[in-house]
Amino acid sequence: MSLASVSLAASEGAAQAFEVRPFAGRVGAEIIGLDLSKPVNSVDFARIHRAHLDHHVLVFRDQRITPEQQIAFSRRFGVLQIHVLKQFLLTGHPEILIVSNIIENGQSIGLGDAGKFWHSDLSYKELPSLGSMLHAQELPSEGGDTLFADQHKAWDSLPEALRKAVEGRSAAHSYTARYSETKFEGNWRPTLTAEQLAQVNEVIHPVVRKHPETGRKALFVSEGFTTRIVGLPEDESRPLLAELYAHSIREENIYRHQWQPHDLVFWDNRSLIHLAAGCPNHLRRKLFRTTIQGDAPF
């Protein structure tokens, strides 16, 4: 490291001794020994950024951070996106979406069925998410796992016939595709206003996208938001998408995250799709999500 780099790192804060520990056999790694309540200098941040690109999902253990600190760390990766369901944004911190099944005074305090179908966050926007950070606030005593599926591996192992069928094609994505479908008992979604609907118009993205930082190809369709393959009749589009969905969530490409208190999980929406496994409705679950804007898929 140069003297200039040392001087810059010192001015930003002391280096922290932490370990990047890859999970065995599947996507993801955990970060051990890093405290995000303290300033992260440029050298440590570059290491975190590299690990995020290499492993696609990072689990920062035991992060006792405030909403302000989560927002500040998230912003180092890019502009933050504000969710369309403004009634579930944290008061005073609209950058944070409350993901929760808790009912207070007869009203949900957060989005109780977030992630009920496999999806990539905000793929229904012209500029989908680069990544999302989810910070555990209250965890249930059972259930509540989150599953992540590596879409680079899905593409790499896609049968040749399917590759030929989708390469160069585009698909439509819509927030309302399965918005009203129930999956978790007791959760509900508010009716979208005309203003909210105007913010989630259908968009078109490539079925196979190239990661803007690594250049790796990945499938970019999901059961949650993809509605059709452009240019194909419905009776061809539907079964083709069904084949892609089934292939994209093969067990060998999945990491199942079992939450621990104060976990902060940061995943790459350009590389992964994810799913909330759900938990018994009477057990309280609350997490804070920030979402970082990405680039237009290509």
Indicate which residues carry an active-site annotation: 119, 121, 274, 289
**3-class secondary-structure state, position 197:** helix
> Would you state the structure tokens that stand for residue 291, as one six-digit string?
């979402």
**Residue 11 CA, distance from chain mean position:** 32
Q: Output the CA torsion sign for 140, 92, 52, 209.
A: positive
101: phi then psi, degrees, rounded to nearest 5: -100, 10
29 contacts 22 by C-beta, under 8 angstroms: yes
Specify the amino acid at residue 252: E
Rounded CA gap, 98 and 91, in Å?
Answer: 10
Rounded CA gap, 188 and 113, in Å?
Answer: 7
Specify the amino acid at residue 264: L
- Token pair 């009477």 in the structure block, residue: 282
> E-strand spans in the chain?
19-22, 29-32, 57-60, 89-90, 93-100, 103-104, 107-108, 129-138, 146-150, 170-173, 203-206, 208-210, 217-219, 226-229, 254-257, 264-268, 272-276, 286-293
113 contacts 107 by C-beta, under 8 angstroms: no
Specify the amino acid at residue 296: A
> Would you state the structure tokens that stand for residue 235, as one six-digit string?
């009776």
Alpha helices, H only, 59-190: 67-75, 151-156, 160-166
- Token pair 């001794």 in the structure block, residue: 17
